[in-house]
Amino acid sequence: MKRDPYEQIVSYIVENQEKFYRLAFRYAKNQEDALDIVQNAVCRALDHYRELRNPDAVKTWFYRILVNESLALVKQRNREMPVGDQGEEEIPYYETGFETGNLFEELDVLEPDVRDIIKFKYLEELTLKEISEIMELNLNTVKAKLYRGLKQLKETMQEVEV
């Protein structure tokens, strides 16, 4: 029995909501923006569920929407000019079990697409094929960028340790 695409998307979103939040948090670096990103991505996915051509590709389709929403927020944030001191100091939010250490600082030094590929592969546990579909890149390009990024990380981590 074949499920309705809408129901399939809703089910997938509910089952993986923590993963989506973690990914959005990595882009936004604060809780409120991460929640906004996930909410916008879910709304966009549910509004456009009829555009999903292959119901088996829900995972890569939704990740693409989520990444686009994350990038849009980052781009918008970079365009906004801060308006003086608001009188409130932002309190950093730290999610338990998701501590950032030297590795995340080193990842931020890499080119954005290389960084995203490494995060998708090792933090989101996506396959290289799924990553290539999400990022709309050739599979061989994804492989090359992954291995180049890992090599750069290894070199920088060794420099830091010495």
Query: What integer pLDDT is reported at residue 112 of this predicted model?
Result: 87
pLDDT of 104-127, one tens digit each? 677 778 898 998 899 889 888 889
Contacts of 102 (CB under 8 A, 6+ apart): 157, 160
CATH class in words for 101-162? mainly alpha
Q: How many other CB atoms are there within 10 angstroms of residue 49's CB atom?
A: 18
Domain with CATH 1.10.1740.10 in the chain: 1-79
Pick the CATH number of 1-79 from 3.30.710.10, 1.20.1050.140, 1.20.1280.50, 1.10.1740.10: 1.10.1740.10
Percentage of the chain exceeding pLDDT 90 = 39
Domain with CATH 1.10.10.10 in the chain: 101-162
pLDDT of 16-64, one tens digit each? 999 999 999 988 888 999 999 999 999 999 999 888 888 788 999 999 9
pLDDT of 78-93, one tens digit each? 777 555 555 455 555 5
**What's the N-to-C CA distance of the chain in angstroms?**
59
d(C-alpha 145, C-alpha 60), whole Å: 19
pLDDT, average across residues 139-153: 93
